[in-house]
Protein backbone atom coordinates (compact mmCIF):
# COMPACT_ATOMS: atom_id res chain seq x y z
CA UNK A 1 0.00 0.00 0.00
CA UNK A 2 2.82 2.39 0.89
CA UNK A 3 4.51 1.88 -2.46
CA UNK A 4 1.24 2.50 -4.30
CA UNK A 5 0.73 5.75 -2.37
CA UNK A 6 4.25 6.91 -3.20
CA UNK A 7 3.76 6.04 -6.87
CA UNK A 8 0.55 8.06 -6.98
CA UNK A 9 2.29 11.03 -5.36
CA UNK A 10 5.11 10.86 -7.93
CA UNK A 11 2.65 10.62 -10.82
CA UNK A 12 0.64 13.55 -9.42
CA UNK A 13 3.81 15.64 -9.05
CA UNK A 14 4.85 14.83 -12.63
CA UNK A 15 1.38 15.74 -13.89
CA UNK A 16 1.40 19.06 -12.03
CA UNK A 17 4.88 19.86 -13.36
CA UNK A 18 3.77 19.03 -16.91
CA UNK A 19 0.74 21.32 -16.60
CA UNK A 20 2.84 24.18 -15.21
CA UNK A 21 5.48 23.85 -17.94
CA UNK A 22 2.91 23.56 -20.74
CA UNK A 23 1.19 26.73 -19.51
CA UNK A 24 4.32 28.72 -20.41
CA UNK A 25 3.94 27.61 -24.03
CA UNK A 26 0.14 27.91 -24.33
CA UNK A 27 -1.15 30.68 -22.07
CA UNK A 28 -0.62 34.43 -22.32
CA UNK A 29 0.91 36.00 -19.18
CA UNK A 30 3.83 38.25 -18.37
CA UNK A 31 5.24 39.46 -15.05
CA UNK A 32 8.64 40.55 -16.28
CA UNK A 33 10.76 43.59 -17.07
CA UNK A 34 12.00 44.15 -20.61
CA UNK A 35 14.86 46.16 -22.04
CA UNK A 36 14.32 46.83 -25.73
CA UNK A 37 16.64 48.71 -28.09
CA UNK A 38 15.63 49.71 -31.61
CA UNK A 39 17.78 50.82 -34.52
CA UNK A 40 15.96 52.19 -37.55
CA UNK A 41 17.04 53.15 -41.05
CA UNK A 42 14.72 54.71 -43.60
CA UNK A 43 14.99 56.05 -47.15
CA UNK A 44 12.27 58.28 -48.63
CA UNK A 45 11.56 59.66 -52.08
CA UNK A 46 8.91 62.11 -53.25
CA UNK A 47 7.71 63.27 -56.66
CA UNK A 48 5.47 66.24 -57.33
CA UNK A 49 3.29 67.26 -54.41
CA UNK A 50 2.11 64.08 -52.69
CA UNK A 51 -1.43 64.27 -51.29
CA UNK A 52 -1.12 61.89 -48.36
CA UNK A 53 -4.35 60.82 -46.72
CA UNK A 54 -3.00 60.20 -43.24
CA UNK A 55 -5.04 59.42 -41.26
CA UNK A 56 -7.14 57.75 -43.92
CA UNK A 57 -7.54 54.42 -45.68
CA UNK A 58 -4.48 52.17 -45.94
CA UNK A 59 -3.75 48.65 -47.10
CA UNK A 60 -1.64 46.52 -44.76
CA UNK A 61 0.25 43.50 -46.06
CA UNK A 62 2.41 41.49 -43.65
CA UNK A 63 4.34 38.72 -45.38
CA UNK A 64 4.58 35.37 -43.63
CA UNK A 65 2.24 32.88 -41.96
CA UNK A 66 4.34 32.07 -38.88
CA UNK A 67 3.16 32.87 -35.36
CA UNK A 68 5.36 35.96 -34.92
CA UNK A 69 4.23 37.47 -38.23
CA UNK A 70 0.63 36.86 -37.15
CA UNK A 71 1.16 38.71 -33.88
CA UNK A 72 2.95 41.52 -35.72
CA UNK A 73 0.05 41.84 -38.19
CA UNK A 74 -2.34 42.18 -35.25
CA UNK A 75 -0.21 44.74 -33.40
CA UNK A 76 0.67 46.95 -36.37
CA UNK A 77 -2.98 47.05 -37.37
CA UNK A 78 -3.82 48.21 -33.83
CA UNK A 79 -1.13 50.92 -33.95
CA UNK A 80 -2.37 52.19 -37.33
CA UNK A 81 -5.95 52.29 -36.07
CA UNK A 82 -4.76 54.13 -32.97
CA UNK A 83 -3.29 56.74 -35.33
CA UNK A 84 -6.73 57.12 -36.93
CA UNK A 85 -6.22 54.91 -39.99
CA UNK A 86 -8.90 52.80 -41.66
CA UNK A 87 -6.94 49.58 -42.21
CA UNK A 88 -7.67 47.13 -45.03
CA UNK A 89 -5.96 43.76 -44.71
CA UNK A 90 -4.26 42.74 -47.95
CA UNK A 91 -4.30 38.96 -48.26
CA UNK A 92 -1.59 38.88 -50.92
CA UNK A 93 1.13 41.02 -52.46
CA UNK A 94 -0.03 43.21 -55.35
CA UNK A 95 2.02 45.45 -57.62
CA UNK A 96 -0.62 48.16 -57.23
CA UNK A 97 -3.31 48.98 -54.68
CA UNK A 98 -6.10 51.54 -55.06
CA UNK A 99 -5.00 53.41 -51.93
CA UNK A 100 -1.87 54.00 -49.87
CA UNK A 101 -0.19 50.82 -48.71
CA UNK A 102 2.22 49.56 -46.06
CA UNK A 103 3.99 46.27 -46.75
CA UNK A 104 6.03 44.51 -44.07
CA UNK A 105 8.29 41.47 -43.82
CA UNK A 106 9.75 39.92 -40.67
CA UNK A 107 13.07 39.22 -42.33
CA UNK A 108 15.05 37.59 -39.53
CA UNK A 109 14.41 36.38 -36.00
CA UNK A 110 16.78 34.77 -33.53
CA UNK A 111 15.92 34.20 -29.92
CA UNK A 112 16.32 32.34 -26.68
CA UNK A 113 13.28 31.57 -24.55
CA UNK A 114 12.99 30.19 -21.02
CA UNK A 115 10.07 30.76 -18.60
CA UNK A 116 12.18 33.23 -16.56
CA UNK A 117 14.43 34.81 -19.18
CA UNK A 118 14.13 35.57 -22.90
CA UNK A 119 16.25 37.46 -25.40
CA UNK A 120 15.93 38.02 -29.10
CA UNK A 121 17.13 39.84 -32.19
CA UNK A 122 14.48 40.83 -34.71
CA UNK A 123 14.89 42.41 -38.15
CA UNK A 124 11.94 43.87 -40.04
CA UNK A 125 11.77 45.43 -43.49
CA UNK A 126 8.86 47.66 -44.52
CA UNK A 127 7.78 49.69 -47.54
CA UNK A 128 5.20 52.48 -47.87
CA UNK A 129 3.58 53.98 -50.96
CA UNK A 130 1.31 57.01 -50.64
CA UNK A 131 -0.55 56.05 -53.84
CA UNK A 132 -0.45 52.25 -53.57
CA UNK A 133 1.73 52.10 -56.68
CA UNK A 134 5.35 51.00 -57.22
CA UNK A 135 5.17 48.28 -54.56
CA UNK A 136 7.53 46.27 -56.77
CA UNK A 137 10.30 47.94 -54.75
CA UNK A 138 9.14 45.93 -51.73
CA UNK A 139 9.90 42.72 -53.62
CA UNK A 140 13.29 44.01 -54.75
CA UNK A 141 14.40 44.97 -51.26
CA UNK A 142 12.93 41.77 -49.87
CA UNK A 143 15.13 39.79 -52.26
CA UNK A 144 18.23 41.44 -50.83
CA UNK A 145 18.72 44.38 -53.19
CA UNK A 146 19.99 46.84 -50.58
CA UNK A 147 20.60 49.72 -53.02
CA UNK A 148 17.88 52.34 -52.48
CA UNK A 149 17.20 53.78 -55.95
CA UNK A 150 13.68 55.08 -56.54
CA UNK A 151 12.75 56.15 -60.06
CA UNK A 152 10.01 58.44 -61.31
CA UNK A 153 7.53 56.19 -63.09
CA UNK A 154 5.67 59.09 -64.62
CA UNK A 155 2.73 59.09 -62.24
CA UNK A 156 0.49 62.09 -62.90
CA UNK A 157 0.01 62.70 -59.20
CA UNK A 158 2.60 63.29 -56.52
CA UNK A 159 3.88 60.22 -54.74
CA UNK A 160 5.90 59.42 -51.64
CA UNK A 161 7.77 56.15 -51.25
CA UNK A 162 9.50 54.93 -48.10
CA UNK A 163 11.70 51.93 -47.48
CA UNK A 164 12.73 51.16 -43.92
CA UNK A 165 14.55 48.61 -41.82
CA UNK A 166 14.14 48.02 -38.11
CA UNK A 167 16.52 46.05 -35.91
CA UNK A 168 15.17 45.20 -32.47
CA UNK A 169 17.24 43.83 -29.58
CA UNK A 170 15.32 42.66 -26.53
CA UNK A 171 16.13 41.20 -23.12
CA UNK A 172 13.30 40.20 -20.77
CA UNK A 173 13.75 38.97 -17.19
CA UNK A 174 10.95 37.56 -15.07
CA UNK A 175 8.03 35.18 -15.47
CA UNK A 176 6.78 35.26 -19.05
CA UNK A 177 5.01 32.80 -21.34
CA UNK A 178 6.31 32.31 -24.87
CA UNK A 179 3.07 33.66 -26.35
CA UNK A 180 3.24 36.82 -24.23
CA UNK A 181 6.90 37.32 -25.12
CA UNK A 182 6.22 37.13 -28.85
CA UNK A 183 3.35 39.58 -28.46
CA UNK A 184 5.69 41.92 -26.60
CA UNK A 185 8.19 41.81 -29.46
CA UNK A 186 5.47 42.38 -32.05
CA UNK A 187 4.07 45.34 -30.11
CA UNK A 188 7.45 47.04 -29.72
CA UNK A 189 8.23 46.57 -33.43
CA UNK A 190 4.79 47.79 -34.53
CA UNK A 191 5.04 50.98 -32.44
CA UNK A 192 8.45 51.76 -33.92
CA UNK A 193 7.36 51.21 -37.53
CA UNK A 194 4.21 53.36 -37.21
CA UNK A 195 6.14 56.11 -35.37
CA UNK A 196 8.72 56.22 -38.18
CA UNK A 197 5.96 56.31 -40.78
CA UNK A 198 4.19 59.20 -39.07
CA UNK A 199 7.44 61.15 -38.64
CA UNK A 200 8.26 60.84 -42.34
CA UNK A 201 4.76 61.85 -43.39
CA UNK A 202 4.83 64.91 -41.11
CA UNK A 203 8.10 65.95 -42.78
CA UNK A 204 6.53 65.82 -46.26
CA UNK A 205 6.46 69.36 -47.73
Domain borders along the chain are 28-202
- Taken in order 40, 61, 135, 88, the sign of the CA dihedral is negative
Give the pLDDT score at 86.
Answer: 93
The topology under which CATH files domain 28-202 is: Rossmann fold (3.40.50)
pLDDT, mean of residues 119-136: 90
Contact 72, 106 (CB under 8 A): yes
Checking if the pLDDT of 24 tops 60, the result is no
Higher pLDDT, 153 or 201: 201
Q: What is the pTM of this model?
A: 0.81
Mean per-residue pLDDT for 3-7? 67
Least confident of 7-21, 35-49, 84-98, 125-139: 7-21
DSSP letters along 25-65, please?
HHS--EEEEEEEEEEEEEEEEEES-----SSSEEEEEEE--
- CA 126, distance to chain mean position in Å, is 9
Instruction: For residues 187 and 179, give the distance between their C-alpha atoms in angstroms, rounded to a whole number.
Output: 12
Amino acid sequence: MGEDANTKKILLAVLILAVVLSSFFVLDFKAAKSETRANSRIAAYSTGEPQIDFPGRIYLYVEGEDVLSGFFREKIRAELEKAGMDVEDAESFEEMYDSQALLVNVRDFEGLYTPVYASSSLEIMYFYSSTGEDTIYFEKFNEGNVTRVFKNTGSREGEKLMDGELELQDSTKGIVSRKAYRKHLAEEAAKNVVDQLQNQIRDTP
